């Protein structure tokens, strides 16, 4: 029976988290830690089977007509709803088995749910020989994320599809490639799992309580993203580092930073990084520090001293791709 295997990268947010939820711009880079998905037809009637051992899902089975109904295990949610949305858009009767695996832990905040969603839609698109465009992949994948989370900008979906480093705005209306060849980033994991939806809601609440403050913060982040894009393309790491620091300061004002992230960021700066900030929603997950090659070891050591775990990732990774044919 026909099978298709695909993979998609995780992501790190370079500048612009939170404000991007409200249509403002951000810069995100894809990382070479990938999510994998195999999709195959199976000789059963009306069945979806999911195996996702990395999130404790083993031989989960559901009638195709029941997708999205009843109790869905947390680890199977994005895969199941992705298939439901694909099936609603491109009617099919076949039974399918999906098997996922990942290079990285779902705890890092690299966007495993969005990468898995993109993988499933891409794999089905190829399995049924529809060869959906990236824009069609984005629309179905982003719908899936919104159906489940109820909120989000779609930046992580775009990173998983397009890869590289992208300037992203207005829920995907603008997706532009940022032309860089490398960026010397150190990534430190806090060991704490962030809850993105809770943090988005927290910022929304602050926006209701103090609209002028939040508007002003978002306006300043916009400026940093625009200047950051230019600095990146000019390889002006010194300036980009400063923009990261300023973005971090604004994220602290939004109230999404925590002590552990602050300690890791301060350690990186003390060790001579050009700049450092949290990446993603805040509340945990990872920090990124931009530093000269000859300073990298020192920055890593200082981050470790305050309890951070260094993750070995390369950025600007390739977007979703077929792994076999």
Compute the 3-state secondary structure of the chain and give helix, strand, coil in percent, each to the nearest 5.
45, 25, 30
Closest CA to 203 of 157, 147, 265, 152: 152
Residue with tokens 């403050």: 213
C-beta closer to ligand PMV: residue 20 or 124: 20
Question: What is residue 76's DSSP assignment?
Answer: G
Q: Site for ligand PMV (CB under 6 A): which residue of 29, 99, 141, 153?
A: 153
- Does residue number 25 form part of the binding site for ligand PMV (CB under 6 A)? no
Q: Is 156 one of the catalytic residues?
A: yes
- Does residue number 55 form part of the binding site for ligand PMV (CB under 6 A)? no
Strand partners, 186: 289
Rounded alpha-carbon distances, angstroms, from residue 152 to 20, 161, 183, 199: 8, 16, 26, 11
Binding mask 242-281 toward ligand PMV (x if CB under 6 A, else -) reads --------------------------------------xx
Closest CA to 265 of 298, 299, 225, 215: 299
- Does residue number 15 form part of the binding site for ligand PMV (CB under 6 A)? no
* Candidates 2-10, 72-80, 98-106, 148-156; binding stretch for ligand PMV (CB under 6 A): 148-156
Q: Site for ligand PMV (CB under 6 A): which residue of 6, 20, 160, 269?
A: 20
Q: Site for ligand PMV (CB under 6 A): which residue of 156, 160, 161, 277?
A: 156
User: Taking a C-beta distance cutoff of 8 angstroms, is the pair 303, 272 a contact?
Assistant: no
- Does residue number 109 form part of the binding site for ligand PMV (CB under 6 A)? yes
C-beta closer to ligand PMV: residue 20 or 35: 20
Task: Please provide residue 130's backbone torsions phi and psi, each rounded to the nearest 5 degrees.
Answer: -95, -25
3-class state of residue 309 by DSSP: strand
Smallest gap from residue 62 Cβ to ligand PMV (A): 26
Closest CA to 289 of 250, 317, 315, 258: 315
Q: Site for ligand PMV (CB under 6 A): which residue of 152, 164, 228, 319?
A: 152
C-beta closer to ligand PMV: residue 67 or 145: 145
C-beta closer to ligand PMV: residue 106 or 120: 106
* Candidates 53-61, 153-161, 288-296, 314-322; binding stretch for ligand PMV (CB under 6 A): 153-161
3-class state of residue 318 by DSSP: strand
Residue 218, Cβ neighbours under 10 Å: how many?
21
- For binding to ligand PMV (CB under 6 A), which residues are involved? 13, 17-18, 20-21, 109, 111, 152-153, 155-156, 194, 196, 200, 280-281, 285
């Amino acid at each position: 029976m026909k099978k298709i295997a695909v993979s998609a990268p995780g992501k790190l947010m370079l500048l612009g988290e939170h404000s991007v939820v409200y249509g403002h711009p951000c810069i995100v880079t894809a990382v070479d830690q990938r999510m994998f998905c195999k999709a195959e037809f199976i000789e059963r009637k009306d069945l979806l089977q999911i195996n996702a051992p990395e999130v404790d899902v083993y031989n989960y089975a559901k009638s195709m007509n029941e997708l999205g109904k009843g109790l869905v295990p947390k680890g199977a949610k994005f895969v199941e709803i992705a298939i439901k949305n694909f099936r609603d858009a491109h009617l099919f009767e076949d039974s399918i088995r999906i098997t996922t695996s990942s290079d990285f832990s779902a705890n890092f905040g690299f966007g495993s749910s969005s990468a898995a969603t993109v993988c499933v839609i891409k794999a089905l698109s190829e399995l049924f020989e529809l060869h959906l465009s990236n824009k069609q992949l984005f629309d179905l994948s982003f719908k899936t994320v919104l159906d489940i989370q109820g909120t989000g900008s779609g930046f992580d979906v775009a990173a998983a599809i397009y890869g590289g480093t992208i300037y992203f705005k207005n829920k995907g209306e603008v997706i532009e490639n940022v032309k860089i060849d490398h960026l010397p980033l150190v990534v430190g994991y806090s060991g704490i799992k962030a809850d993105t939806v809770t943090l988005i809601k927290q910022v929304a609440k602050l926006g209701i309580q103090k609209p002028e403050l939040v508007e002003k913060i978002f306006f300043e982040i916009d400026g940093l993203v625009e200047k950051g894009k230019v600095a990146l393309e000019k390889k002006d790491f010194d300036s980009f580092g400063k923009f990261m620091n300023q973005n971090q300061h604004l994220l602290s004002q939004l109230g999404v930073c925590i002590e552990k992230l602050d300690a890791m960021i301060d350690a990186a700066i003390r060790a001579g990084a050009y700049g450092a900030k949290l990446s993603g929603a805040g509340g945990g997950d990872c920090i990124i520090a931009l530093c000269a090659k000859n300073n990298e070891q020192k920055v890593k050591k200082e981050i470790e001293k305050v309890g951070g775990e260094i993750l070995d990732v390369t950025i600007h990774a390739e977007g979703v791709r077929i792994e076999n044919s």
